[in-house]
Amino acid sequence: MLDLSYKNNYFDCIFMYHVISHSETKGMIKILKEIDRVLKPNGEIFLMLCSKETWLFKDAGFLKLDENIVVKTVEGLE
């Protein structure tokens, strides 16, 4: 996701479901720039992220890599 092997303006539409949240905030920013690069002008992106308002993010006590990223450690690192 950090370095997509597609040409600029390649896709009409990109659908991402709980994908980019597997990176820290700096990585997420780089991923979004890559998405912008490979998406055609006036293309569409459908992006789903986990909410920071959930119990798992706010109150479960998991390790926080930064203000946006939690690592679930119940059964080892995610």
The tens digit of pLDDT for each residue in 14-24 reads 998 878 877 78
Domain membership of residue 6 (yes or no) is no
- pLDDT score, position 76: 55
The tens digit of pLDDT for each residue in 26-69 reads 888 999 999 999 999 999 999 887 777 777 777 778 877 787 77
Question: What is the sign, positive or negative, of the torsion defined by CA atoms of 36, 40, 41, 46?
Answer: negative
Q: What are phi and psi of 65, to 5 degrees?
A: -75, -35
- Average pLDDT over every residue of 6-19: 93
Domain membership of residue 3 (yes or no) is no
By residue range, what is the domain housing residue 36?
11-71
Domain membership of residue 57 (yes or no) is yes
Domain membership of residue 48 (yes or no) is yes
- pLDDT score, position 55: 73
Domains in the chain, number:
1
Domain membership of residue 2 (yes or no) is no
Question: What's the Cα-to-Cα distance from 5 to each of 2, 10, 34, 48, 67, rounded to whole Å?
Answer: 10, 10, 10, 22, 30
Domain membership of residue 77 (yes or no) is no
